Structure 1
Amino acid sequence: MKPKGKNELVMHYPSSWWGAGWREALPSGNGKIGAAVYGHVREETVLLTHEDLWSGGLTLELPDISKKLPEARGLLLAGDAVQANRILPNTLEQLGYQPKLSWPLPLCDLKVRMPSQYGFKQYERRLDMETGEVTVTWKDGETRYERSLFVSRPADLIVYEIRAIEGEPLHVEFGMGLHDLKDMRKPTTVLPDHLQTYIDGEYLFFAATNDDKTDFGAVAKVDSKGGTLEEVNGMLRVCGGESLLLTIQLFVKEERSAAWERIRSELKDLNTGYAELLLEHAQEHGRLFHAMRLELEEAEGPRRSNEELLLEAYRGETPLEMMEKMWAYGRYLLISSSREGGHPCHLYGLWCGEYEGMWAFNMVNENLQMIYWQSLSGNMPELLLTVFDYMERLMDDFRTNAYCLYGCRGIYIPAPTAPDSGLLKHRMPHILHWTGGAGWVAQHYYDYYLYTGDEAFLRSRALPFLRETALFYEDFFIVGEDGYYISCPSISPENAPGNYRSGPMDKPLTETTVNATMDFAIAKEVLRHLIDGAQAIGAYSAEIDKWKSMLERIPPYCRNEDGSVKEWMHPYFTDYDHHRHQSHIYPVFPGTEVTRESDPELYEAFMAAAKKRLAIGLGEQTGWSLAHMANHYARMGEGDLALECLELLSRSCVMNNFFTLHNDWRKMGIGLDKDWAPFQIDANMGWSAAVQEMLLFSLPGQLHILPALPARWRKGKAGPMLARGAVEVTVAWNRDTGSVQLELMSRSRSQTVEVVLPQPVQCLNGRELQKQRCLQLCLEAGEAVQLSFAFVGDALEHSCGGGDSQ
């Protein structure tokens, strides 16, 4: 039996941001439709959103500017990066190319008004992450009120029930309208028009017209037990009864009258109650949520509220309970905002309540990848399918980008995209000149195959995408006098070399360079995955030699005088460590090219480069950068440093509903000091990924168990996690007794794996060993293998981070 409240967020006060209450709301979603519950007593607001509702975009024909590329390259190779920086962007500007990225548009606000005669008491709002149900409860006089909402995954419905327990009967008014205009931060924003609302019996109708002249809207139906319904001042009033059920369907890009009639008919035929709809939804949602579990402590009695956990974190040590809940929350948010066939979760998830949300798009130079890092090891591989669906819908645009910008075959994915277009929409040099987007996305494609063993996916989706990416590199890279490739122009997101800055806080003169280390790290990974994958299934045999030849032309990584890996593999450019991005560490994380075992000397050089980034100081960090560093340190076996990053994140960029922001908005000295902190929940997902990275690192045929276990995590249990090779891993540990219990199961095939333990063990399943760290195990398909270890010295003091095997 699970401890009460283990996977619940509990709060004792409502959303409080004036004009931005959605930021502190409690979110529910089914991967397509979102609802954010503010939690107000007298006048409740529920923000409703739909993944297909975007606005503000302007798509133009992308001009062919590839003939200007030789000029830009010539300047770069001659040492004039400043002049080269603007060649391609200025050409687009001169040709009148002024497109706009679209942003997610809030669909509407549901307003719920209830009387408050005596003043509320015993207020609480709660999110059950196992079901997605948001509940607001309070007592007014002798009456206890409950409002509960969830977004049904199987039925595509928002389901809302209001109950009066003892005391007074219900008196509720409902209305729908445009989302709060106080969330319009730019006065130039073009709002939806042709707003229309009306009430017909127990139905509420809402519609408006988007900037593309298509309609969107909603229909709500009220079923009241024992109450009467009437229209009052444009709202539907329900008087009497002990409970009522509100069901809501949304529509996008559909003529309003036809949509209204269709939805009205569907809601009329819906005869299922709240409990039955919740059970149906909870089974599908829960299948994903419970695919992995985490326990860091054995709590007794009720769990603490968010406010109590944050107060303890502010005093210097994040409670284990909060660690667990933040891990679960990142998992919950990804499930709630991802569904096969839809759009990927972006920086706002499904809950963008801003008009023209800042950075509310799919960003592939860090953020989208961080959002989905947790999905594979967290045993939710199907959530990644939405990323692949999205990318494949936009392939023609990505090919157009490659050809028109660089005269190349294959694909070029801009850092920011939105569902309406994959064309380059952002002309700034640091976006236009970054060519690593497709390759970084390709890592997810190949990892999906490695984690699931799905050869049909490898053949039909992963290898074709990798091949398109390699085609771009084949045409884009040029060969230098030494026979090695040159990547030019090149960007190391989002940094600029030290010799192009006059001071640490000055705006860089240019970020456009030659041979960013990340460019070649990604390209090398793409080619190796192509070769390995093609050979595994006997595909593309005529091209494998070509890809091997390309690999040989990628230059070796370069090092600074202090032995650290350089961020730019070209003598014109010097490192600049005062920056939160750590792009040049890609071969160690998120890549797997360099490990302590595969190349100990180069691994130490990458570690040295990563630790030099500590020069940045706390004041330059953000929510996502702390989450990235936590994953980074976990991959490097530095569990305590990884945990420290999460603790700093919990004290700086986490709001009371546990959403993360881009920066510290309270001027507390941790993170960028901005009065308005952009909403950005990638750090929520990065937190979940970092926890999993501390507990398991895998390569095909090799499992590193507890590679970066923090000292504070004395005992716990996690799993089943998913490892490369399609192996499920469940691990329980106890530092005080020096013991680990391990369960492994190969999902689809029999295989031999090497298990790498954090320290030498002297006892396996009661049998004495000679202090071994590495064990060879034969796994039969579908059969669980259980192992029990006792460590040398009877104590698991620290993890060695995948050190040399003994």
Structure 2
Amino acid sequence: MNLQQHVVTQSESLFSSARSHRFAMAKPAVRWQDALPSGNGTMGALVYGNIEEDTIVINHEALWYGGSTKQPPDLSVHLPELRALLDAGQYEEANRFFPDLMRAAGYQTHTSRFQPGFEFKVTLETEGAFRDYSRTLDMETGEITVAWTDNGVRKSKRTFVSRPDQMIVMSVRYDGAPIPQAAFALHIHQPAEAEKHGFAHESSAEPGYALASGKHAGADNGYCAVARIIARGAALSADNGLVMASGADEITVLVKVAAKDGSPAQQERLKRELDAVPYDYDTLLQRHIAEHRLLFLSAGIDLGADGESRDTANERLLLDAYTGSVPTALMERMYDYGRYLLMSSSRPGGLPANLQGVWNGDYLPAWSGAFFNNENIQMNYWQALAGNMAETAEPFYDFFDSLLPDMRRNAQSFYGSRGILSPLFASPESGLKKNLQPHVVYWTAGAGWLAQHYYDYWLFTGDIDFLKRRVLPFLRECAAFYEDFMVEGADGKWISYPSNSPENWAIGSFPGSGKLSVCINATMDCAVAKEVLTNLCEACEETGLYAEELPRWRAMLGKIPAYQINRDGALREWMHPDFEDNYHHRHQSHIYPLFPGFEITEETHPELFEACRIAVEKRLVIGLKQQTGWSLSHMAGIYARLGDGDRALECLEILSRSCLGDNLFTYHNDWRNQGISLKMGRAPFQIDANLGWTAAMQEMLLFSARGMIKLLPARPKRWVRGQFRQLRCRGGVTVSLEWDMERRSSVATLTSDRTQTVELQLPAAASSVAAEGAVVAPSASGPKYRRLTLTGGQTATLHIAHDE
């Protein structure tokens, strides 16, 4: 079964929408960051929503500029010198050793920047003072509506980005009245700013069409867009770059983009394509909705927010959040929004969602808008498989498979190793390590962390072909790197060095303590290597492949050192006596075996589980001033794994008061300096916290690992009743649950892809569990657990009566 087939199979059991999935805003946008987003996974549109002169920023996932790439120098010949420095405790020298060698070799390169595309301008003649203004996004359809009343006439502009037709579609309508004057223009985004960054551009208009193109000075090819304007009941004219209509009954606009070719011939091709499209807005919308809604409604939650609050504008809900607890309606809305943003910026055949998804209005986006592999892109996709949107994950695998040759080159050039070494961040044209900062140079756990997502696809879907063709090759490449890179110590255990624990610095008695990125035996390095080898062995046992190599990989597993606990009872971040824990940092990479890994659970490793809990609590010494948007989403996920739903919810509530915009975009940090989050010169929009928020809520409601499912593992006390539908579990089980803890009851339905027995943790201790379609047996784990035998393809229903 391939990725697309899996989604179609799952969509057969979609639930009908029980509540609205739209939100409104009470005011238009002034900046692109405040615009409402629409997208089809490839193209993005940001709608400002102004009445007289409106702006739509048009993005395309393939528009990048400014990258320069060289082959990295051969540093592997200097690896013995680097390790000698580390062995001698000369950590300051080791920290700059490889970066200095790279500078000496003239290895100065640049990562491509994710760039904006075009602006489509809509100018309408106004007659009176507007009233009843609203700007609405319907996440179930992807349609943005700007509506207002002027002189008693209801007027609207509606926009969406079509999935089947690969274009932006817009409609301008005045109820029962003609549109007096309208003008349309298309040009490169912020022309003056574009010129400052090396872009040449052209724009023009002719009756019925607006055309624009751009080209960066360092690019071989340009890019272009064409807008077709259709005015029902009126003639069109063109003058001075504007397409104008007077007295139209309705105006429809269709916009297409070519990201790799800006030639006049390409523009003519786009015009022909647009001419062939039926231009009825409602027809095009329904064609789009049929595809969009299917994916959006493949799973969902309902926390019981009242209808009035669900209809409340974002601005009002955020004001309520600032003054007290976050409204439940906002929690529901943020869950939906994360699903919407992921599916709108990631689709089969394209690129994965970058730091900004597929929306951007800056020519110098923070961190280039690139694909960061030490947390951010992983967080982008944590929700995908559990949220029953497997097709949105396909670009993740395609992208990193495309980087395999560069990652092999990294491994060879830096450490003389076989296998693959991931860069800390990448852009579409290159997966080579480029940045010279020590924490970037010395980080080696990236490919192994990416491999978790590969293996997860197999666990969620049971796609044996994907396991053989995609997962096993990637895991074997990771294992080959570890086999060559790791060094056996005197005790027979592996030493990982040079090492790095993103993005923290150890303390100790050595010069540079608390400042150096290089280290020895970061706990995360060992945890990721252990996970890779464990998954590799399990995959080989499942498929029967590479049986001759299994003994070697099992022996490698035995060489990974055991986790260590410090004198505070916390899991140590570095397993070397020179490196002591530094609690004053937001990153918690050493908690990887608990989250986002699955090795440590309360049931399997209670002592290490408690050590992880203490490690998290020790991190609170920094308060909130070092947190960021994404780190608060990450913390919510950690607390969900610890079973502390109230603390997980608190993290999301703090995020809503610090790093959330009116349009519900998340920011890297709080731009208002309210004492929450890391201070920076600016606060960039960054989509990872949006997507991580949705993932955290799923973790709070449902946990799964091989052979284990937990219902409501981290339910906040405030979520007394609610339901979720069609979430997916590792092992190929689809779960829906309704709960009412006031009545001490819950009803779960589980449908397994195959016959299997799993350990099921109930939402609370149960006095009885009545099962239909499954066999329920007691569990040795306690009164909150049952052994559940599921028959493949058959839905089981559990009626649970709780003791508490």
- TM-score when normalising by structure 2: 0.95
Match of 1:654 in 2: 660
Q: What is residue 22 of structure 1 aligned with on the other side?
A: 32
Match of 1:478 in 2: 487
Judge conservation of contact 2:205–2:239 (CA < 8 Å) in 1.
no
Deviation at 1:703, TM superposition (A): 0.9
> Which one of the candidate residues 356, 366, 369 is aligned to 1:358?
366
Counterpart CA distance in 2 for 1:281 and 1:11 is 24
Are 2:640 and 2:700, in contact at CA under 8 Å, matched by a contact in 1? yes
The CA deviation at 1:676 is 1.5
SS state at 1:146 partner: strand
Amino acid paired to 1:751: Q
Q: Counterpart amino acid of 1:134?
A: I
Residues 433-457 of structure 1: per-residue CA shift (max 9 Å, x gap):
0001100000000011001111110
Measure, in 2, the Cα distance between the counterparts of 1:252 and 1:338: 16
Return the match for 1:464 from 462, 470, 473: 473
Q: Is 2:793 aligned against 1:782?
A: yes
Selected match of 2:332 from 310, 324, 336: 324
Matched residues in 2 for 1:205 and 1:729: separation?
Answer: 49
Matched to 1:717, the amino acid is Q
Whether 1:104 and 2:114 are equivalent positions in the alignment is yes
User: Which SS does the other structure have where 1:145 is aligned?
Assistant: strand
Moved more, 257-266 or 620-629: 257-266
For the pair 1:644 / 2:655, whether they are aligned, the reply is no
Secondary structure of the 2:23 match is strand
Please give the alpha-carbon distance, in whole angstroms, between the structure 2 residues aligned to 1:144 and 1:4: 28
Equivalent residue number for residue 747 of structure 2 = 741
* Matches of 1:208 and 1:643, distance apart in 2: 45
Name the structure 1 match of 2:391.
382
1:603 corresponds in structure 2 to: 609
Between 339-348 and 159-168, the greater mean CA deviation after superposition = 159-168
1:618 and 1:183, CA in 2 relative to 1: closer, same or farther beyond 3 A? farther
Task: Report the 3-state secondary structure (helix = DSSP H, G, I; strand = E; otherwise coil) of the residue aligned with 1:678.
Answer: coil
CA RMSD of aligned residues (A): 1.9
Distance of 2:232 and 2:317 partners within structure 1:
39
Q: Contact between 1:204 and 1:219, CA under 8 Å: does it hold in 2?
A: yes
Q: Describe the superposition over 1:237-283 as per-residue Cα deviations: whole angstroms up to 9, x where unpaired.
A: 11112211100110022251221111111111112411111111112
Aligned with residue 312 of structure 1, among 308, 320, 327: 320
> Is contact 1:327–1:687 with CA below 8 Å preserved after alignment?
yes
Distance 1:168 1:218 in 2: 28
Residue 5 of structure 2 corresponds to: none
Contact 2:86 2:94 in 1 (8 A): yes
2:137, 2:145 within 8 Å by CA — same for their partners in 1? yes
Residue type of the partner of 2:758?
Answer: V
Number of residues of Structure 1 aligned to a counterpart in Structure 2:
781
Corresponding residue for residue 10 of structure 2:
none
- 2 CA distance for matches of 1:694 and 1:501? 41
How far apart, CA to CA, are the structure 1 residues paired with 2:735 and 2:577?
A: 45
Shift of 1:6: 2.5
Matches within 5 A, 1:160-171: 160-171=170-181
Select which of 758, 761, 777 maps to 2:766. Answer: 761
Task: Specify the code of the residue in structure 2 equivalent to 1:437.
Answer: G
Aligned partner of 2:168 among 148, 155, 158 = 158
Task: Verify: 1:399 aligned to 2:408, yes or no.
Answer: yes
- How far has the Cα of 1:232 moved from its partner? 2.7
C-alpha contact (below 8 Å) 1:596/1:603 kept by paired residues: yes
The residue number in structure 2 matching 1:124 is 134
Q: Distance in 2 between matches of 1:499 and 1:276?
A: 67
Asked whether the equivalents of residues 163 and 170 of structure 1 are also in contact (C-alpha less than 8 Å), the reply is no
Q: How far apart, in 1, do the equivalents of 2:794 and 2:34 lie?
A: 45
Q: Residues 376-406 of structure 1: CA distance to partner in whole angstroms, max 9, x if unpaired?
A: 1111122111100001111111111111111
Is 2:268 aligned against 1:268? no
Distance 1:241 1:179 in 2: 28
Cα distance in 2, alignment partners of residues 417 and 674 from structure 1? 23
Q: 1:633 aligns with which of 639, 645, 655?
A: 639
Residues 628-683 of structure 1 deviation map (CA, whole Å, 9 limit, x = unaligned): 00000001100000000000001110000000001111121111233520211111
Q: Do the aligned partners of 1:170 and 1:243 also contact (CA within 8 Å) in 2?
A: no
Tell me, yes or no, if the aligned pair for 1:114 and 1:172 is still in contact at 8 Å: yes
1:8 aligns with 2:22: yes
Question: 1:581 maps to which residue?
Answer: 587
Q: Which amino acid aligns with 1:775?
A: R
Q: Write the mapping of 1:644-723 to structure 2, written as runs, cut at 5 A.
A: 644-723=650-729
Alpha-carbon contact 2:670-2:676 (below 8 Å) kept: yes
The one of 267, 279, 291 equivalent to 1:284 is 291
2:251 aligns with 244
- What is the CA deviation profile of residues 314-359 of structure 1, one whole-angstrom value per residue up to 9, with x for unaligned ones? 1120010000000000110000000112111011110011102112
1:53 pairs with one of 44, 57, 63: 63
Mapped to 2, the partners of 1:134 and 1:50 lie a distance apart of 18
CA apart distance, 1:293: 1.2
Q: 1:802 maps to what in 2?
A: none
The residue identity in structure 1 corresponding to 2:23 is L
* Aligned 8 A contact 2:178 2:250 in 1: no
Tell me how far 1:773 sits from its aligned partner: 2.2
Q: Distance in 1 between matches of 2:735 and 2:60?
A: 36
Q: Which blocks of at least 5 consecutive residues in structure 2 are unaligned?
A: 1-14
Q: 1:4 Cα deviation (Å)? A: 9.3
Tell me: CA distance 1:182–1:370, structure 2 relative to 1, closer, same or farther (3 Å): farther
| Native 8 Å contact 2:166 2:256 kept in 1 | yes
CA deviation map 1:77-120 (0-9, x unaligned): 11111100111111111111111000111111111111223222
Q: 1:432 to 1:196 in 2, by over 3 A?
A: same
**Given residue 400 of structure 1, which amino acid in structure 2 is its aligned partner?**
R
Which of these residues, 335, 340, 347, is aligned with residue 348 of structure 2? 340
Looking at structure 1, the residues matched to 515 and 714 of structure 2 have their Cα atoms a distance apart, in angstroms, of: 39
8 Å Cα contact 1:24-1:38 kept in structure 2? yes
* Aligned 8 A contact 1:477 1:487 in 2: yes
Letter of the structure 2 residue corresponding to residue 765 of structure 1:
A
Q: For 1:542-621, what aligned pairs fall within 5 Å after superposition?
A: 542-621=548-627
User: Is this contact kept in 1: 2:777–2:788, CA < 8 A?
Assistant: no
**In structure 1, what is the equivalent of residue 238 of structure 2?**
231
Q: Shift of the alpha carbon at 1:509?
A: 3.0
Conserved 8 A contact 1:398-1:413: yes
**More displaced stretch, 704-713 vs 762-771:** 762-771
CA contact (8 A) 2:129 2:150 kept: yes
Rounded to whole Å, the distance in 1 between the matches of 2:611 and 2:179 is 70
Q: Deviations over 1:444-478 (max 9, x none)?
A: 00011001111110000001001001111111111
Q: Residue deviations 1:609-642, cap 9 Å, x none?
A: 1111111111111111110000000011000000
Per-residue deviation, 1:131: 0.9
Is the CA contact 1:15–1:24 (under 8 Å) kept in the aligned structure 2? yes
Secondary structure (helix, strand or coil) at the match of 1:127 reads: strand
Contact 2:646/2:716 (<8 A) preserved: yes
Between the aligned partners of 2:417 and 2:354, the Cα distance in structure 1 is 28
Q: CA deviation at 1:375?
A: 0.7
Match of 1:512, SS state, is coil
Supply the distance in 1 between the matched residues of 2:687 and 2:703 (Cα, whole angstroms).
24
- Preserved CA contact (<8 Å) 2:49 2:135: yes
1:435 counterpart = 2:444? yes
Residue in 1 aligned with 2:4?
A: none
- TM-score if structure 1 supplies the norm length? 0.94
Alpha-carbon distance in 2 for matches of 1:668, 1:615: 18
**What is the distance in 1 between the residues matched to 2:802 and 2:204?**
70
Q: Is the 8 A contact 1:500 1:509 kept in 2?
A: no
